[in-house]
């Protein structure tokens, strides 16, 4: 049945629904690397990122997006990481960023 056209439309709801449980794949990533939870979004990892100079890879943003359930973007951006470990060296909270990115790229593969 075609959608009725009233001559106006509502914008889709942008709000994050926190009462809905986390996606299972998000939970899997968090479980496999619990230190992700320690991230305070300080941005140090992005400031030093070797890949971030060329591509919008910023680990703390992937963490935020992971919490928001935006797994597509996370999986796709995580593929750009070189695993060089510079971010992990400087992270003040000791997040195992390399492992987290490996897991994100492996467990949240973007649809081809």
Partner 1 sequence: MEKSAWFVWPFMLGFMFALAVLLLRYLWWLRSLLRRPSSRLLSRMFSKHSLLAVREIFSEGLLHLRIYKRNRRLGFMHMSLALGWFMMIVGGKFETWFHSGQFLHGTWYAVFFRYFEPQTVGGWAGTFWLHYMDFGLLLVLTGLALAIVKRIRKKVLGIHSTTRHTLVNRVALTFLWMIFPLRLVAEALTFGQHGGGGFLTGALGRCCFTSGTLAGLELPFWWAYSLSLGAFFVVLPFSRYLHIPTEMVLILLRHWGLQAAEDLQPEKALQAFEIHACSSCGLCLDVCPAIKDHPFQSAYFLRALRSGKGWESLASTCLSCGACEEACPINLGLEKLRMAARGKIHEKHHAVYSYLPTVGPVETSKVDVLLFTGCMGRLKPATTKALKDLFEEAGLSWVHLDEQESICCGRPLALAGRASEASALREHNRSLIKGQQARMLVTTCPICLKQFRDDYRLELPVYHHSEVLWSCLSSGSLKREKGTACFSYHDPCELGRKSTCYQAPRELLQSCGTLLSLEREQADALCCGNSLGSLSLSLSERQALTSRTLKVLEVPGAQSIVTSCPLCQHNLARQSSLPVKDLAEVLAVTGLPEQQGQRKAALAAVQEL
Partner 2 sequence: MRSSEYINKDEVAIIGGGPAGMQTALVLSARGFSVRIYEQKEQLGGHLKGWHHLFPHGVAASDLLGALKEQVLARAIPLHLGQTVDHLQKVGEGWELWQGETVVGRAGVVVLANGFALFDARRKEEYGYGLYPSVLTSADLEAVFRKERPWPFGPDCAAPQIGFVHCVGSRDLKCGSPHCSKLCCVTAVKQAMAVKAFFPEAQVYCFYMDLRMHGLEYEELYRKAQVDYGVRFIRGRLSEAAPGQGKRLHVKAEDTLQGRPLHLQLDMLVLMSGMVPTFVLEQQERAVFFKEPVFGSGFVPVQGFLAAGSVVQQKGLFASGACKGPATLPEVFADAAAVACEVEQYLKSLKAVAHA
Side-chain half-sphere CA neighbours of 30 within 13 A:
18
Work out how close the CB of 42 gets to partner 2 at its nearest, in angstroms, rounded to a whole number: 4
Name which position in 26, 29, 39, 58 contacts partner 2 (CB under 8 A).
58
Task: Give the CA angle between residues 104, 36, 28 to the nearest 5°.
Answer: 50
CA 47 to chain centre: 17
Binding mask 28-47 for ligand SF4 (x = CB under 6 A): -----------xxxxxxx--
Q: Which does 97 bind (CB under 5 to 8 A by kind): partner 1, ligand SF4, partner 2, none?
A: ligand SF4
> What's phi and psi for 29, nearest 5 deg?
-65, -45
Region near partner 2 per CB under 8 A, out of 12-20, 21-29, 58-66, 104-112? 58-66
**H helix intervals, the chain:** 24-32, 44-48, 59-67, 71-78, 86-90, 97-107
**x/- string (CB under 8 A) for partner 2, residues 21-40?**
-------------------x
């Amino acid at each position: 049945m075609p959608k009725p056209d009233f001559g106006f439309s509502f914008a889709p709801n942008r709000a994050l629904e926190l009462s809905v449980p986390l996606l299972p794949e998000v939970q899997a990533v968090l479980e496999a690397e619990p230190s992700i939870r320690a991230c305070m979004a300080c941005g140090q990892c992005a400031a030093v990122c070797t890949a971030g100079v060329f591509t919008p890879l910023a680990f703390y943003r992937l963490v935020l997006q992971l919490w928001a359930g935006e797994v597509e973007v996370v999986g796709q951006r995580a593929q750009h990481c070189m695993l060089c470990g510079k971010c992990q060296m400087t992270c003040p909270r000791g997040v195992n960023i390399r492992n987290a990115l490996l897991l994100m790229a492996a467990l949240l593969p973007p649809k081809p």
